[in-house]
Chains A and B, each alone.
With several copies, the nearest count.
Chain A
Amino acid sequence: MKAEELRSKLQELQELALRENIDIGADINRLADKLAGGDETAWRRVELARHQDRPTALQYIDLMSDRYLELHGDRTFGDDPALVGGIATIGGVHFTFLGHQKGHNMKENLHRNYGMAHPEGYRKALRLARQAERFRRPILTIIDTSGAFPGLASEERGIGEAIARNLREFSVLRTPIICVVVGEGGSGGALGIGVGDRVYMLENSVYSVISPEGFASILLRDAKKAQQAAGLMKMTAPDLKGFGIIDDIIPEPVGGAQSDHQQIAGRVRQTVLAAYQELARKRPDQLLRDRSARLLSLGRFTEKPVGRQSSLLSRLFGGGS
């Protein structure tokens, strides 16, 4: 009850700040988190991440770039509207962009299959990523999917193979790769364009091995316990930052990214360009070595005789996670 009251006050404050154009969004969101507590916070973010007014991949590209050209097709089977790609010039830098594309309404979502890609989407992504490598363009990926499409055709054409090949190839592409989770980072479908040198999450985005609903139905044996699952899964941006899986969190405007497309696109643009400046300074071998270290360090386990947590990384590069 008390939480409910506080939240309504916060809502008023947010609206006021929005009207007066005062940027207190991140603070308000943090405050809201504290008031809400674990599961509820996580679930609120799941809902925001899925908000149908959030900017989509192509909107980000349009808002961020001076000019862009969408490129189509996997050169084998088809063109997947759920996973878009092309060339975008952002701050004078030519990027190859890739992104899951959702719609804002039923009609768009039917065309975009709710951002759930088929194998040809991932194969288009790989084609364009290799092209980027060949012409030394950095790659920007915009992640926003509940997962790869789990349908008949998707399986028949090897959705597993398509994602797997991307994971392998992106891990050794000789060009900087910057990934931004802008909404839902769902499972292998998200990771299929999610291997890179820098990974960012928007403040209210989520990233997880399975949807909270799927998690609930399998591990909690009750699909309706999704809210509880969201908390247990540790899928919010602060969770992943804490785990060392992502590099940083991009704060959203008051109320969430949907409330000010221009502003959030500007912040993403700034983050991406800053990351690119950093990565562009590295020689390709160094870039790959660092990416390799990042990937080899993923995972938490123990090595019994030594009695401490350890990973390949610590022995390889002298670092540790």
Chain B
Amino acid sequence: MSPGRYFRKVLRAVSRDKMKQGRRALRMDDRRYVATKHSCPSCGKPVDDGDLAVNLFVCPHCGHHYRISALERIKTLMDGGEISEFSADVQPVNPIDFPEYTEKLRQAQEKTGIDEAITTGVGRIEGRQAAFALMSFKFLGGSMGSVVGERLARAMLYAADQAMPCIIFTASGGARMQEGIFSLMQMAKTSHTAALLAEAGQPLIVVLTDPTTGGVTASFAMLGDITLAEPNALIGFAGPRVIEGTIRQKLPAGFQRAEFQKDKGFVDAVVPRSELRSTLAYLIDVHSRGGAKP
């Protein structure tokens, strides 16, 4: 891969863009966590909501890793529980005039308290800075439309320009079909910015979380220099039901899970949430200043 120097212009322009991007500190409103109980979706045992947040949203009984949104990820991963968000102004439209899409977006925003299926910004882990992109499955199934693509593209180009790693947490059911062909094209766009990031010599670190399927899996999610996954995360292109429809039989247990994908060669390491901060900090260190100094 040798795109030459043409990408410099891209980076310079993004750098200019950064100046007016209206960054804002983003952190979770902790008041939502009241001490009520629910049953763990994996083991069924009673779990206290408040305890769960403290325990990184991992079931204290069985170790089940709950699906978490960008805000919860920020709270549990980042130094100070916050990031400096950018691209917040980038907001969805209805590009193919799909019936009720605008209304559906508004409802999702109201219901989830987040504005799109991805949140991007700069943050720190154990003092090390990186650009982050955090997907939220609960926002329309983490589907990738134009906003997800644009925010991802900007996050990668920002990392390239500012010489820092880009760390992406994926969680997606696939393309935002209501945006038609535009949603498909986000695969090409985000994969291209991954190439530009590589050209700039900065690492793309991907953390696959449950679930990561469809167009996201067939683009940036599989383009990490380092690819980590949370335990038991479902990772695939075609979803299990689609495959079962093709082969007309049930899938074997564990198929497409993180551990399976590691055996099949697509995941570097399965990392429990409790070890994520330490592992990511080491990886940022390793890739700092272009590598080795004795």
Q: Which residues of A contact B (CB under 8 A)?
A: 67, 69-79, 87, 89, 91-95, 120, 124, 131, 134-138, 148-152, 154-161, 163-165, 167-169, 171-172, 174, 187-188, 191-192, 194-195, 207-210, 215, 218-219, 232-235, 239-240, 243, 245, 273, 276-277, 280, 284-286, 288-289, 292, 295-296, 298-306, 309, 311-312, 315-317
Contacts and interface: CB of A to CB of B under 8 A. Distances in A.
- Which of B178, B191, B219, B263 gathers the greatest number of chain A CB atoms within 10 Å? B191
A191 B184 contact: yes
A29 B212 CA distance: 42
A65 to B, nearest CB: 12
Contacts of A305: 22, 89
- The majority secondary structure among interface residues of chain B is helix
B96 A150 contact: no
Nearest to B213: A160
B279 interface: yes
A299 B263 contact: no
B283 interface: yes
A123 B225 CA distance: 15
Contact of A292 (B6, B220, B268, B269): B6
22 contacts: A72-B268, A75-B265, A137-B286, A154-B237, A158-B264, A164-B187, A167-B188, A167-B191, A167-B219, A168-B195, A168-B198, A172-B3, A187-B184, A233-B180, A233-B181, A235-B180, A277-B294, A299-B149, A299-B182, A301-B91, A305-B89, A316-B10
Contacts of A285: 4-6
Given A71-B226, A78-B264, A120-B265, A298 B149 contact: yes
Interface of B: 1-7, 9-10, 13-14, 16-17, 22, 89-93, 95-96, 98-99, 145-147, 149-150, 153-154, 157, 175, 177-189, 191-196, 198-199, 201, 203, 215, 217-223, 225-226, 236-238, 242-243, 245-247, 251, 255-256, 262-269, 279, 282-283, 286-287, 290-294
A158 B265 contact: yes
Contacts of A69: 269, 279, 282-283
Contact of A73 (B191, B196, B266): B266
B181 A243 contact: yes
Contact of B188 (A171, A218, A273): A171
Contacts of A148: 218, 237
A279 B99 CA distance: 39
